[in-house]
Structure 1
Amino acid sequence: MLEGNRVSRISVRGFAVASATAVTAVGSVVGVASGSVAQPHNDAEATAADTTLLADIPVGEQAQVQTASLTQQADAQAIAADTSAKKDAEAAARKAAAETAIAKKEAAEKAAKLEKERIEAKAAASRDDVRDASSFPTQSSYTVAQIQAMARQIVGGGQFQCFSNIVNHESSWNYHAVNASTGAYGLGQALPGTKMASAGADWQTNPATQIKWTLSYMNGRYGSPCQAWTYWQANSWY
């Protein structure tokens, strides 16, 4: 009876070793399939059983062992994927925040620039060296060069180029230019042309008067000729 008990204990132990060895063997097979390298170990009993006892385990138990191993791998892969997704999301958030900060900075700089131009335009308009229309002798006709020279003195160097850009598009510096469709008249194409009478009764024939009125219009409506030019580029009119 004692001997029988001893045999039973050995048998149970053998089954336990076989089961553990089967797990090891299946893990090794799965590891090789996934490209990993199995680590050597010193358990002689398990090593000897790796190739001999796996077949002794019922098929149902082998499937369970394989399923458990695959589940562990799937869990590990899911954790790795989740970690990667979180890192990607954090990187995207940082990038979006940086882009927003840059956009705000650029908008602030643009607003500051426009405000500076507006202040400079007002200062230029009030400077003593800016001449009005009456400062220029009246002529029967004027060349484009003469008209542009007047504009440089009336408008001021800081805003002249923007002023010139608009006049180039509106009338090509022709102070007698008339829009056949709307009736707009003069260098800045005032609509109607009679608006320029506020700058001088000679608005039809004196380009200096037209320049003075056009500059006043740009400053009053947009803040400066350069701001008027910015609007013109976006809309093809001002």
Structure 2
Amino acid sequence: MRTNPLRTAATAALALLLTGCAGDASSAARSESGDGASGVARSEPVSGVNGATRPGSASGVRSKIASVRGSRITVYGSKEGAARRTITSPNDYGATRVFLVERDEGEWLQVLLPIRPNGSKGWIKTADVTLAETSHRVEIDRGAFRFTVYDGDRAVRTGRVATGEAGTPTPPGRYFFTELVRPADQGGTYGAYAFGLSGFSPVLKSFAGGPGQLAIHGTNKPSAIGTRASHGCVRVGNDDITWMAKNLAIGTPVVVRG
């Protein structure tokens, strides 16, 4: 299988990625104090396959993904404005920093940023990144408790999900995958794999030492699929998350509706 440069390994503690959505706050805190390193067991590196191609290789509905070339990138508030922030690469979980491109204007790209508030955008210079494309996207219907993966206009996989409870909802919006991790215990609460998302919980500003980042991940409680059961993350069956891990690139857009 060919290696995909947009699918890198995340090597940091899984609890720092997730909001704690698969367990309650007290159990997450116990795990943190017992491990002594902000939380939980290390995740296993994951190498990438499939999912993304160089621009112009196929037709249909496609999204552009910008992968940072160096160790940091400057984000601007506008094409004419001053620098707004510097973002480092790889990210905190060991994955190459990527952005979902919203507008391509030649020398400049407007991108969706993995920061609060959800939906934040900024401008980066095209020369600072490598561009690739994906025809895939994931749509989450909160009301129907269902996900659908599209390849262009064609649905290629669908299944049931669990979403956030009433007090810790899964926020609607447009996001993208920021990293892929494989839990050391694949029979644990996060299941076989977890994709980090570029969005954050609107309620939990931090959780178990992490920033309250959202994720789509597997589960060891399939009976909860189809209900509101998490602290904001989206849970899917282990067969579904394994399929996603094999077929979807970091940077793939994710739309949460309902």
TM-score range, shorter chain: under 0.3
TM-score calculated relative to the size of structure 2: 0.21
Computing the radius of gyration from Cα coordinates, the structure with the larger value is 1
Structure having the larger proportion of residues in helix: 1
- If asked which structure has higher relative contact order (CA below 8 Å, sep 6+), I would say 2
Question: Which structure is higher in strand share?
Answer: 2
TM-score (norm 1): 0.22
